[in-house]
Amino acid sequence: MPAFTYWPTFPFEGDLRVKRLLEPVPIEPPRHGDNPSECRACSAPDQAYIWVSDRWRVRALDRPTGLPAVLILESRSHLDLGDLPNMLAAELGVMTVRLERAIRSLDGVARVHVNRWGDGAAHLHVWFLARPYGRLQLQGTFLALWDDILPPIPEDRWRENLALVAAWLAEFGGRPLAEPPRINWTAPTTLATRERDDALEPAAAAEENDDVVVPEPAEGNGDAPDDVTENPKDEPGRQG
């Protein structure tokens, strides 16, 4: 077995066997987006990203994973790394440094790994993976594997991290699109429940002082009147 299987950062133990190396193919299959008209990055709306500018966009994965942040920097134009004209190539350097600083500024992040593989998709995309502070076992080569192995971080923290990075980038231009996490209310309030709220004023007033404790969710029992425990006046501000 190669020496790295004995590194403290190697995520696996037990009996391992190296796979047989297949013969090289004479012609490689196309990558996603080799045909630009089918490129998902080109057709994705800005709303799929956490921050956008005229020439660059930054997106997250569609759900939390094991690391505090995993972000992808993309050019807006359908280009691969080696195709970038000088201006975009220079901007890639600036964007890489800026995004590294933004992610490293998050609580609990020690280091940011920057990877460009380019084997799967033709549209330039550079990966930024946040290595948690103190987790020396996650140093180096295997961080991307650990991201899949570790339990996902809480969704609220994930959303907060994305919003912080987007706000940091927007200090230098562009538009932040990631929103901070919503307050975990039990259900959306409607005008109808609001009216019931007023009818039950004493109970509702008692709840109003309780800003911290989130009421027990009425899970699927169809008891709509339980919704009066909400405090909807605070919600719009947090949603932005």
Q: What DSSP assignment string belongs to 88-111?
A: HHHHHHHHHHHHHHHHHTSTTEEE
State CA 56 to chain mean position distance.
17
CB of 43 to Zn ion, least distance (A): 8
The reply on whether position 31 binds Zn ion by CB under 5 A is no
Stretch that binds Zn ion, among 8-16, 33-41, 164-172, 219-227 (CB under 5 A): 33-41
Record the tokens describing residue 223, joined without a space: 């008891």
CB of 37 to Zn ion, least distance (A): 9
CB of 106 or CB of 122, closer to Zn ion = 122
The reply on whether position 125 binds Zn ion by CB under 5 A is no
The reply on whether position 42 binds Zn ion by CB under 5 A is yes
Angle at 143 between CA 95 and CA 101, to 5 degrees: 25
CB of 33 or CB of 68, closer to Zn ion = 33
CB of 74 or CB of 227, closer to Zn ion = 74
The reply on whether position 123 binds Zn ion by CB under 5 A is yes
Stretch that binds Zn ion, among 68-76, 109-117, 120-128, 196-204 (CB under 5 A): 120-128
Judged by DSSP in three states, 132 sits in: strand
Query: CA 2, CA 141: separation in Å to the nearest integer?
Result: 14
Query: CA 127, CA 138: separation in Å to the nearest integer?
Result: 16
Query: CA 67, CA 202: separation in Å to the nearest integer?
Result: 45
Q: From the CB of residue 213, how many other CB atoms can be counted at a distance below 10 Å?
A: 8
Stretch that binds Zn ion, among 70-78, 106-114, 169-177, 179-187 (CB under 5 A): 70-78
Stretch that binds Zn ion, among 13-21, 77-85, 111-119, 205-213 (CB under 5 A): 77-85
Q: Which of 31, 55, 78, 111 binds Zn ion (CB under 5 A)?
A: 78
CB of 41 or CB of 165, closer to Zn ion = 41
Please state at what angle helix 155-170 crosses helix 86-104, rounded to 10 degrees. Answer: 130
CB of 229 to Zn ion, least distance (A): 48
Q: What are the CA-CA distances from residue 104 to residues 90, 97, 139, 149, 195 (Å)?
A: 22, 10, 15, 22, 47
Q: Say how many residues make up the chain.
A: 240
Q: Which of 10, 41, 72, 138 binds Zn ion (CB under 5 A)?
A: 41
The reply on whether position 57 binds Zn ion by CB under 5 A is no
Residues that bind Zn ion (CB under 5 A): 33, 39, 41-42, 78, 123
